[in-house]
Structure 1
Amino acid sequence: MGEIAGPFVGSWAVAAGLVTAWALRGGRYVRVLPDVYVVRGSEFGARERALAAGCWAKKRGVLVGVSAMAMFGSPYADEWLPAEIALRSSRHAPDGVRVVRDRITDDECCLIDGFWVTTPIRTAYDIARRYPRDAAVPLLDSHCATTGIRPGEVLEFAAGRAGERGIAQLRATLSLVDPGSASPQESRTRLLLIDGGFPPPQTQIVVRDERGNFVARVDMGYREWRIAIEYDGAQHWTDPKQRARDIDRLAALESLDWIVIRLTAAHLRTHPTLILTRLQSAFTSRGIKIGELSA
C-alpha cells in the first residue's frame, strides 16, 4: 500500500483498501481527531490541523477563520489556536476544533484540495469580528499579505451586515491592519507604538542614498523624520553572517542620518516601555512633539 499524505479519515481509508484496520492501531499512524489519522512523524502545522478538522466533519463543513487562513497559505496562521469549521449541526467538537454555526452562502466559500473554505474576504470578516484586537491584527496582517485583499474590501463586505455580532469591533480592528508587517511580532510592535500615542508607522520603507541607490528596507518607521524601528528575530543574533550584514546595514543607515531602534521578542515581552522611551527620545532629537502631531 502506498503512503497516505496528510490527514485522512480512517474508516474511509480502510473501506478503500488504502490501509488496514490493524495498521491504524499499530505504530505507523497517529490518531489526531476521532477517525482522523496522520502518518507518525509527519508535519502537523496549521494547514494540517485545518485538513484534520475537515476530515473529522467528513467534508460536510466549511473551514473558517484561522483554518481558512492556513488553507490559503498564510505562514502565520496561529498553530496554537483551535481549528475552526462551520457546521449546520450542533455536533460536539473534540479538543483542538472549534465549531461555529454561521450562515455561509455559496458565493462566500470555495473549494481548496477538496475542502470547502470561506473566501479570503469572508475569512477576514470572521477573524476581525471574532478575535480580540491584539490577536486579530497580526492574523489579518498576514492574511491580507498572503491573499492580496485590502481592509477596505472587508469593510465593504461588512457594510450590509450591520446587525451581526462584532461589526463595531471589526471596524476598529481593520483600521489597524497593515499587510506590510512581515511577522506577527512586527504587527505587535506596531500596535505597541500606536497604543503608546505615536503615529501609525509606515511599513517596509525603502531607503536610498542621495544617488537613488538602494541602501536598505526597514521594517517600519517614519520616513519624514528618518526614524526606523527594526524587529530582530533570533537569526539576527545567532547567525554570524546575518550579524555581519546587520552591522554594515546599520552603519549605512546611520550614515544617511537615520535613527535605528532595534528590538527583540524579549523587549516586547518584558520591556515594552523601553521601546516607547527610545522612540520618544528619537522624536525629541528630531524636534518633534508627539502631542502636536495628534492635535
Structure 2
Amino acid sequence: MHFIDGPFRAREALDDGLLTFRELRRFHRADFPGVWTVRGSDLPTDHRAGAAWLWSGRRAVVAGLAASALHGAKWIEPDIPIELIHTNRRPPPGIVVRTETLVAEEIQSIGSLPVTTPARTVFDLGRRLPLRDGVQRIDALVNATDVKISDVETVIARHPGVRGLRQLRATLALVDGGAESPYESLTRLVLVQAGFPPPQTQIHVFDADGWAFARIDLGWPEYLVGVDFDGAHHWTDPGQRSGDVVRYARLSELGWIDVRLTSGILHNGTQWFLDRVGAALESRGCPKTW
C-alpha cells in the first residue's frame, strides 16, 4: 500500500511509479484539477498554496492573504482562497487568479514556493481590501515581517498608474505594525478616525527600579493615558485576571489612566469608549482634536 501525504500532481506520481491508479483513487482525493492529496487530511495554508501552485504547472506566484500567511502573519483564516498571480484566468474553486505584472525583485522563495515579497504583498492587499480590513491585515503582516512603508513605496514607484493606489495610500497612512491582534488594529483605527491624535502602540511602563512591569496596547505616554483591549483570556484565565488586578493598580499609582475595552464595547459601545478616552486626555491637558 502506497500513499503520498502532501499535494502532488497525479500524472507525475503515476508516471514515476510512486502509485498505482488504484492507490491513487483509493487513498487520495483531488483538491484541484490534476492535483491530489491523501484522503482525510485538512491541508494547512502552505500545503493548499503548494497545491494551487502545482495546478498552475509550477508557473504561478502565490500572492495576497496566502502570501501573507506564508510570511508568518497571524489571524488569517485557514480556508481562504489561494491567490495566484498567473496567466490562466479560469481557475477552479478555491483559487483566485490575478493577471498582473511582477518584477523579479517582488518575488522570493519560501521553501519551494515562489511568493510575493512582504512589500509586494502589502501593495496588493492595500489596493484591494476595504480600509478597515486592509489596515488589520497589513498590521499583521508588518508585525510578522517588519516590512517598511518605504519598501512599499519602492513597489509603488515600479507600477505607476496601477488601479487602487489611492486606496493603498489611505490604508498605509493608518498602518502600525505594533498591533498584536485585529482588535488592537481596529481600536486604533476607531480612535484615529474619530479625530484623536495617533496613539503609540505597545507602550512599556517602568517602575521606580526600572523594571518594565506592564505593556499597554496603545495610548499617549506624554499624557499618561492608555487603552488596553481585554481578550477572552483576560476573563477565562484566573492567573491572567489576578495579574491584571495588580497591574492596573500599579498603573494607577504611577498616574496612568488606562481605559479597558472588550469586543462588545468596541462594536456596541463605541461612543461610550470614545467619550471615556476623550475625557481622560482632556483631564491631562491634551488639546482637543476630536
> TM-score, length-normalised on structure 1?
0.88
Contact kept, 8 Å, 2:82 with 2:95, in 1: the verdict is: yes
CA RMSD across the alignment: 2.3
* Residue number in structure 2 paired with 1:33: 32
Distance in 1, matches of 2:77 and 2:131, equals: 15
* Residue number in structure 2 paired with 1:261: 259
The superposition leaves residues 220-245 of structure 1 with CA deviations (integer Å, 9 ceiling, x where unpaired) of: 11101111111122111111112211
Amino acid at match of 1:33: F
Distance in 1, matches of 2:23 and 2:271, equals: 55
* Residue number in structure 2 paired with 1:72: 71
DSSP-derived class of the 1:125 partner: helix
Contact kept, 8 Å, 2:28 with 2:36, in 1: the verdict is: yes
Distance in 1, matches of 2:104 and 2:130, equals: 28
Q: Displacement of 1:42 after TM fit?
A: 4.0
* 2:82 maps to 1:83: yes
Amino acid at match of 2:245: I
CA, structure 1 residues 233+21, in 2 after alignment: closer, same or farther (shift >3 Å)? Answer: farther
* 2:22 maps to 1:22: yes
Q: Unpaired runs of 5+ in structure 2?
A: none
Contact kept, 8 Å, 1:78 with 1:139, in 2: the verdict is: no
Contact kept, 8 Å, 1:215 with 1:253, in 2: the verdict is: no
Distance in 2, matches of 1:268 and 1:17, equals: 58
CA, structure 1 residues 161+17, in 2 after alignment: closer, same or farther (shift >3 Å)? Answer: same
Alignment of 1:146-225 (within 5 A): 146-225=144-223
DSSP-derived class of the 1:261 partner: strand
Distance in 1, matches of 2:119 and 2:85, equals: 16
* Residue number in structure 2 paired with 1:12: 12
Q: Count the aligned residue pairs.
A: 290
Distance in 2, matches of 1:80 and 1:266, equals: 26
Which of 103, 106, 119 is residue 105 of structure 1 equivalent to? 103
Alignment of 1:223-262 (within 5 A): 223-262=221-260
Distance in 1, matches of 2:276 and 2:222, equals: 18
Contact kept, 8 Å, 1:86 with 1:102, in 2: the verdict is: yes
Contact kept, 8 Å, 1:141 with 1:187, in 2: the verdict is: yes
CA, structure 1 residues 204+19, in 2 after alignment: closer, same or farther (shift >3 Å)? Answer: farther
CA, structure 1 residues 2+253, in 2 after alignment: closer, same or farther (shift >3 Å)? Answer: farther
Contact kept, 8 Å, 2:11 with 2:34, in 1: the verdict is: yes
DSSP-derived class of the 1:215 partner: strand
Distance in 1, matches of 2:244 and 2:175, equals: 28
Q: Displacement of 1:24 after TM fit?
A: 4.0
Q: Displacement of 1:178 after TM fit?
A: 0.7
Amino acid at match of 1:239: D
Q: Displacement of 1:5 after TM fit?
A: 4.5
Q: Displacement of 1:86 after TM fit?
A: 0.7
CA, structure 1 residues 263+60, in 2 after alignment: closer, same or farther (shift >3 Å)? Answer: same
* 2:93 maps to 1:95: yes
Contact kept, 8 Å, 1:62 with 1:116, in 2: the verdict is: yes
Q: Unpaired runs of 5+ in structure 1?
A: none
Give the stretch that moved more between structures: 112-121 or 261-270. Answer: 261-270
Alignment of 1:113-124 (within 5 A): 113-124=111-122
The superposition leaves residues 186-209 of structure 1 with CA deviations (integer Å, 9 ceiling, x where unpaired) of: 111111111111111100101112
